[in-house]
């Protein structure tokens, strides 16, 4: 059997990290098993769906490298198909028209609540042998309800939650078509999962209540349901369910803030799945290790500090030549065009950065003016050191512009003025890089343009 998984987001808000984790696992499972990953956009909620939200889904998945093999399929473009399957359901006697009005439904619900019963449709219009149905009201278009099996249980072995059994008597007859004939959500999902030959449904556990209903519809259509894995919720840092309503950021914002796709994949992977104690791993390792047996059962909590740490680890480990284009993109946003020095600049500074934005902040000092802070200037660039700075400038103007040449000029200056290394290095760093905290001075200066260094030293 070839594994076929899908990600089926509703484009009703900007997709956040909690949502995209529901894409990561089915993608990884398909990739790990040589299967097929399908993208399906569940856009039937016309009022709340938007193209902008679809764009963020597609852009976010592309950024994270969660490539799909089939789709995107849009449910709104499959309406004819749903209606055709609905006709099969009608022909097979699996549905019946229900004429109960909204007001009657409300009254029923109130009665049930007053009796402390669970609100549910009471089967008034469900045909049974020997049962007399109420007279059909005039001018009312009915909804179509699914004849849920009566008695027995619906059970499935959830890959995350274990065996789940629901008594059919707890499920009322679901509306599967509205009065205007449009199919409803659960029905469309089943038709899609059948047509797309999905073998494993890996999705958020907010859908657990839909699953027994969906399984019954599968069976009514003569199909066996797929394997289900319901992922626990992702909580935000406050311990609430992550949602855009309480400040969750769209996935693409993490790209803009300088996170690396592989670091995000690593972090998200661990948010609900584990491989022993491994915290930092590559995409290839993740795909080698991923299976549905190590999905966590409890809710995972997002932790931005941990995400930054994971990103820093990936940044450090990343090849300079691969890192440079990502930093160049961030520089471009500041109106800076980088040059061939950038990979080496990345190599020199990546250890002290946790995002490509931070790295671009350092790189900017090589391509644009720097403005040392008044405090650092006052502390390090004192009148006492200015003669030594002048000597250094002279020597740097005349030396070979490489590490040994620069290092020689610094050492000669120190010797000539009888001072210690930090007394000279700190003010030079402040003037040339805008801050006293930098990697080794000769390595930094070597990557700077000679004329730029001389000009900045003159600002002393």
User: What span, in angstroms and rounded, lies between the C-alpha atoms of 147 and 168?
Assistant: 11
DSSP 168: G
Mark the segment that binds ligand GLU (CB under 6 A) among 50-58, 203-211, 326-334, 441-449: 203-211
Contact flag: residue 158 with ligand GLU (CB under 6 A) = no
Do 288 and 384 contact (CB within 8 A), yes or no? no
Do 226 and 252 contact (CB within 8 A), yes or no? no
User: What span, in angstroms and rounded, lies between the C-alpha atoms of 436 and 424?
Assistant: 11
Contact flag: residue 376 with ligand GLU (CB under 6 A) = no
Contact flag: residue 248 with ligand GLU (CB under 6 A) = no
Return the HEC string of 382-408: CHHHHHHHHHHHHHHHHCCCCHHHHHH
By C-beta, is 10 or 216 nearer to ligand GLU? 10
Contact flag: residue 21 with ligand GLU (CB under 6 A) = no
CB of 290 to ligand GLU, least distance (A): 19
Residue selected from 207, 241, 249, 403 as contacting ligand GLU according to rule CB under 6 A: 207
Per rule CB under 6 A, count of chain residues that contact ligand GLU: 8
Q: How big is the CA angle at 220 (ends 215 and 225), to the nearest 5 degrees?
A: 30
Q: Map residue 305 onto helix, strand or coil.
A: helix
Strand pairing class (143-146; 95-98): antiparallel
Interface pattern 37-56 for ligand GLU (x via CB under 6 A)? -----x--------------
Instruction: Kindly report the number of other CB atoms within 10 A of residue 30's CB atom.
Output: 25
Cross-sheet strand order for the sheet of 4-7: 70-74, 36-41, 4-7, 200-204, 227-231
Contact flag: residue 241 with ligand GLU (CB under 6 A) = no
Q: Which residue is nearest to ligand GLU (CB)?
A: 203
DSSP letters, 198-246, are -SEEEEEGGGTTTHHHHHHHHHHTT----EEEEEPPEE-TTSSBP-GGG
Residue selected from 9, 250, 361, 405 as contacting ligand GLU according to rule CB under 6 A: 9
Mark the segment that binds ligand GLU (CB under 6 A) among 6-14, 59-67, 261-269, 271-279: 6-14
Cross-sheet strand order for the sheet of 95-98: 95-98, 143-146, 175-177
CB of 43 to ligand GLU, least distance (A): 9
CB of 214 to ligand GLU, least distance (A): 8
By C-beta, is 42 or 376 nearer to ligand GLU? 42
CB of 95 to ligand GLU, least distance (A): 21
By C-beta, is 8 or 428 nearer to ligand GLU? 8
CB of 18 to ligand GLU, least distance (A): 10
By C-beta, is 205 or 412 nearer to ligand GLU? 205
Mark the segment that binds ligand GLU (CB under 6 A) among 8-16, 118-126, 160-168, 429-437: 8-16
Residues that bind ligand GLU (CB under 6 A): 8-10, 42, 189, 203-204, 207
């Amino acid at each position: 059997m070839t594994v076929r998984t899908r990600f089926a987001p509703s484009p009703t808000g900007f997709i956040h990290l909690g949502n995209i984790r529901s894409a990561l696992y089915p993608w990884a499972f398909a990739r790990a098993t040589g299967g097929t990953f399908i993208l399906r956009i569940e856009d039937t909620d016309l009022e709340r769906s938007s193209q902008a939200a679809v764009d963020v889904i597609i852009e976010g998945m592309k950024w994270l490298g969660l490539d799909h093999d089939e789709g995107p399929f849009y449910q709104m473009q499959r309406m004819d198909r749903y209606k055709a399957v609905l006709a099969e359901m009608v022909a097979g006697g699996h549905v019946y028209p229900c004429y109960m009005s909204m007001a009657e439904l409300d009254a029923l619900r109130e009665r049930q609540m007053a009796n402390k019963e669970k609100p549910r449709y009471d089967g008034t219009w469900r045909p049974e042998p020997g049962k007399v149905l109420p007279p059909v009201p005039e001018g009312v278009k009915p909804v179509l309800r699914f004849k849920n099996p009566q008695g027995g249980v619906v059970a499935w072995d959830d890959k995350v939650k274990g065996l789940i059994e629901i008594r059919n008597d707890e499920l009322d007859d679901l509306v599967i078509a509205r009065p205007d004939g449009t199919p409803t959500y659960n029905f469309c999902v089943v038709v899609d999962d059948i047509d797309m030959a999905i073998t494993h449904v890996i999705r958020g556990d907010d859908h657990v209540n839909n699953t027994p209903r969906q399984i019954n519809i599968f069976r009514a259509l003569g199909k066996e349901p797929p394997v289900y894995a319901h992922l626990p919720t992702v909580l935000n840092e406050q311990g609430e369910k992550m949602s855009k309503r309480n400040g969750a950021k769209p996935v693409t914002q993490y790209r803009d803030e300088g996170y690396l796709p592989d670091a995000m994949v690593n972090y998200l992977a661990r948010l609900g799945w584990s491989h022993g104690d491994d915290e930092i791993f590559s995409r290839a390792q993740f795909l080698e290790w991923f299976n549905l047996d190590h999905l966590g059962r409890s809710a995972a909590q997002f932790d931005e500090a941990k995400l930054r740490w994971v990103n820093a680890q990936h940044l450090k480990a990343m090849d300079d030549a691969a890192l440079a284009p990502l930093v160049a993109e961030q520089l471009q946003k500041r109106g800076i065009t980088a040059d061939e020095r950038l990979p080496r600049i990345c190599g020199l500074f990546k250890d002290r950065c946790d995002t490509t934005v931070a790295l671009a902040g350092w790189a900017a000092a090589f391509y644009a003016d720097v403005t040392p802070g008044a405090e650092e200037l006052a502390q390090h660039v004192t009148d006492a050191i200015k003669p030594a700075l002048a000597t250094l400038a002279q020597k740097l103007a005349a030396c070979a512009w490489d590490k040994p040449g620069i290092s020689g000029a610094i050492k000669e200056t120190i010797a000539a003025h009888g001072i210690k290394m930090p007394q000279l290095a700190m003010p030079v760093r402040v003037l040339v890089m805008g801050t006293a905290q930098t990697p080794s001075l000769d390595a930094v200066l070597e990557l700077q343009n000679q004329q730029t260094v001389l000009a900045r030293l003159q600002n002393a």
